[in-house]
Amino acid sequence: MSKLTKRSTQVVCAVLFAVAGFSAQLAHAQEGSRMDAVLDQRFKAANTTNDGKLTLEQAKAGMPRVAKNFDKIDADHKGYVTLQQIKDAMKEGAAAVQK
């Protein structure tokens, strides 16, 4: 194999690995966006008072996993959780699993 052919092969491989990595990141981002949209919809449906504050009763009726972890998510013990608190708790849980 000539030096030029070997170098060309290395460049092509590097480009393919870069494209594959970018594709994986893009797929992960798209999946995250889809999951966010589903979570937003589920929160909106469960929050029957439309005040942005999901109570334990509302969570039990519409978001059972949130209800199961309600005390952990409601760290300030306000009696409700917000969509952002749920998202933060999910990120913390995912980060803990990756460790």
Do 40 and 83 contact (CB within 8 A), yes or no? yes
Dihedral sign, CA of 24, 28, 33, 35? positive
Confidence (pLDDT) at 61: 97
User: Closest by alpha carbon to 38, among 85, 80, 73, 87?
Assistant: 87
The overall pTM is greater than 0.75: no
Domains and CATH numbers, the chain: 3-98 (1.10.238.10)
Tell me how far apart the alpha carbons of residues 85 and 59 are, in angstroms, rounded to a whole number: 13
Confidence (pLDDT) at 12: 42
Tell me how far apart the alpha carbons of residues 33 and 14 are, in angstroms, rounded to a whole number: 29
Do 93 and 86 contact (CB within 8 A), yes or no? no
The pLDDT tens digits for 39-95 are 999 999 999 999 999 999 999 999 999 999 999 999 999 999 999 999 999 988 877
